Amino acid sequence: MEYNLNLEENSLREENNNETSYKNPIWVFGYGSLCWNPGFEYQQSVTGYVKGFSRRFWQGNTTHRGTDAKPGRVATLIEDKEGITWGKAFLIAAEDKAALPYLSTRECQLGGYRTYSINFHPRTLPSTSNNTGKNALLYVAIPENRHWLGAAPLPDIARQILECHGPSGSNAEYLLRLADFMREEVPEALDEHLFSLERLVRIFAADMKICLKTLIGEKPKDESRDAKPESSRIS
Ligand SMILES: N[C@@H](CCC(=O)N[C@@H](CS)C(=O)NCC(=O)O)C(=O)O
């Protein structure tokens, strides 16, 4: 699958993976672990969405939620003309010199993602008048990368997620915290792929008498400068 990298409103515009500083504050849009575990300092965050893409657990991962022997599955975006993907955008201060190098290592070097820019639509901040949203960096794994796994039957993906674990924790934590983020932040949004996987993981865990609470552990602390304690409901 080739991404149409031309400069249409909803397309991805590739950026230099190694760009580490910008003259102005810059938005980074997260739609996977960045939603609940950004791991970098930011000035503010806002829930929002991107158009023209859907989220899929089609990216393999051996450095955070899996191993070389048993790769896990993490989120990426695929082109979908009718798609809307909700996530969270983080504003990084222009003088911040740590966040982008951190993200480049975490996402690109370790995860096989590439850096793009896209228009995102904040839910609460006033979008620009012509409703094109705000420009943001985001990290997307495309099929040509070395970790790509691609589509598979949902039960197979769910079993893989339930079985895998890596240096950052269980693959199940990754899935369930993202589902939790969506329920808490965007209860009205439907993400059939995400919630079907969550349902299957919960069913398989019950069948195998796996305690998900133990598998998931404590939620990472928020790095925002005005961190508010967040409820982390995992049952
Ligand atoms: N780029 C997506 C996905 C990012 C993602 O999930 N990356 C993984 C694999 S490189 C990661 O950083 N995981 C950290 C973790 O699982 O705690 C996002 O915006 O959230």
Convert the pLDDT of each residue in 168-209 to its tens digit: 999 999 999 999 999 999 999 999 999 999 999 999 999 999
Mean pLDDT of 146-156: 97
Instruction: Give the residue, out of 107, 145, 223, with the most ligand 1 atoms within 8 A of its beta carbon, to mutate for a pocket test.
Output: 107
pLDDT at residue 11 greater than cutoff 80 = no
Say if strands 134-140 and 72-92 run parallel, antiparallel, or are unpaired. unpaired
Query: Which CATH fold topology does 7-215 show?
Result: Hypothetical upf0131 protein ytfp (3.10.490)
| Ligand 1 site, CB within 6 A | 30-34, 37, 61, 64-65, 74-75, 106-107, 110-111, 113, 138-139, 168, 174
DSSP-assigned letters across all residues of 184-213:
HH-TT---HHHHHHHHHHHHHHHHTT--HH
| Predicted local confidence at residue 7, as pLDDT | 28
Q: How far apart are CA 142 and CA 10, in angstroms?
A: 16
CB 179 within 8 A of CB 76: no
Q: Could you tell me the residue ranges of all domains in the chain?
A: 7-215
pLDDT digits (tens, 9 = 90+) for 46-61: 999 999 999 999 999 9
Instruction: Calculate how far, in angstroms, residue 55's C-alpha sits from the geometric centre of ligand 1.
Output: 13
Active-site residue, 198 included: no
- Please give the ipTM for the structure prediction: 0.93
